[in-house]
Amino acid sequence: MTNLNKIAIINMEGVSKRYLPDTLALYDVHLHITKGEFVFLTGPSGSGKTTLLRLLFCAEKPSVGEIWLDGMALSSITPSQLPYLRRKIGVVFQDFKLLERHSVFENVALSLEVTGLTGGHIEKRVKQIIERVGLGDKIKRFPPQLSEGERQRVAIARAVANRPQIILADEPTGNLDRPRAKEVLSILEELNAEGTTIICATHDERLYERGYKRTLRLYDGILNSP
């Protein structure tokens, strides 16, 4: 196990998550993901995909078990360390979690601003990423003025903007048509090629059907890892 810890960027040991009063969302999950891996996490709705990702960026605490992220035990993270841990992780939320009263630009810039970078430095990079997800002409719009698919792409742009070590994408193509979905996948693959570790939760078979990537399957909170 100690050997595995060294090469694994994500390591879950015997993790269970119980929601009160009686939901067992995850049961005895053992998971090792090495640096630079691209992993699909699949399973039916309600099987615990989002819960697993939420555990990884400390939005929830496991009921049982321990998680190591880049060698750091998450149970030992203090509230003041938490922001710095989260900056290493880019998250594409299933419900996007965009700031409604901030423009597309401001939403994407946010993940850089929280790290203390100022306007001049980030503007070019933010614009570049927004172009990359195909929203260059809507940079000044606000989330309520965008379609579902466009909002999803803003969420992706924000998650990747500060070049995190790990990207957790929760249904990043849920609202996209085939060409758009492929494009999102190619953005993720590009980042992966640069060394970013990626976990992509989805039940979109178009993404993982080709089978050349490791695919984890969750059923009722139980992980069948190949």
Partner 1 sequence: MINPYIKRAFSDLKRNLMTQMMTTAVVALSVLIFIFFYFIYLNLQHVAEIFGAELGPVVFLKKDVPAGRIPDIYQKLIKLPGVEAVNYVSPEDAMNRLKTFLKDEKDVLEGVDPDFLPPSFELKITPAFRDIGNISSMAGRIDKWPEVYSVRYGQEWIGGLEAFIRVFRIIVVISAFFLLLTAAFVVSSTIRLALYARKEEIEILHLVGATRMFIQTPFIIQAFSQGLVGSSMAAGIVFFCYLYIKNIVAQFTLLGGIGLYFLPWPHIVSIIAISACVCAVWTAFVIRKSLVQ
Contact set with Mg ion (CB under 5 A)? 50, 94
Taking CB under 6 A as the criterion, the residue among 8, 9, 10, 25 binding ligand ATP is: 25
Q: Which of the listed partners (ligand ATP, Mg ion, partner 1, none) does 25 bind, with a CB threshold of 5 to 8 Å by partner kind?
A: ligand ATP
Tell me the C-alpha distance between 196 and 211, whole Å: 20
Taking CB under 8 A as the criterion, the residue among 38, 57, 68, 208 binding partner 1 is: 57
Taking CB under 8 A as the criterion, the residue among 6, 101, 124, 210 binding partner 1 is: 101
Regarding 162 and contact with ligand ATP (CB under 6 A), the answer is: no
Region 140-179 residues binding partner 1, contact defined as CB under 8 A: 158
Q: Within 10 Å of residue 183's Cβ, how many Cβ atoms?
A: 17
Tell me the C-alpha distance between 181 and 187, whole Å: 10
Regarding 21 and contact with ligand ATP (CB under 6 A), the answer is: no
Regarding 46 and contact with ligand ATP (CB under 6 A), the answer is: yes
- Which residue lies nearer to partner 1 by CB, 47 or 162? 162
- Which residue lies nearer to Mg ion by CB, 48 or 109? 48
Regarding 143 and contact with ligand ATP (CB under 6 A), the answer is: no
> End-to-end distance of the chain based on CA atoms, in angstroms?
18
Element (H, E) at 156: helix 148-161
Among the residue ranges 5-13, 38-46, 101-109, 114-122, the one whose residues contact ligand ATP (CB under 6 A) = 38-46
Taking CB under 6 A as the criterion, the residue among 12, 15, 27, 50 binding ligand ATP is: 50
* Nearby residues of 156 by Cβ (< 8 Å), 6 or more positions away: 92, 133, 169, 172, 184, 187
Region 166-205 residues binding ligand ATP, contact defined as CB under 6 A: 203
Binding site for partner 1 (CB under 8 A): 57, 59, 79-80, 83-87, 91, 93, 97-99, 101, 110-111, 113-116, 118-119, 158
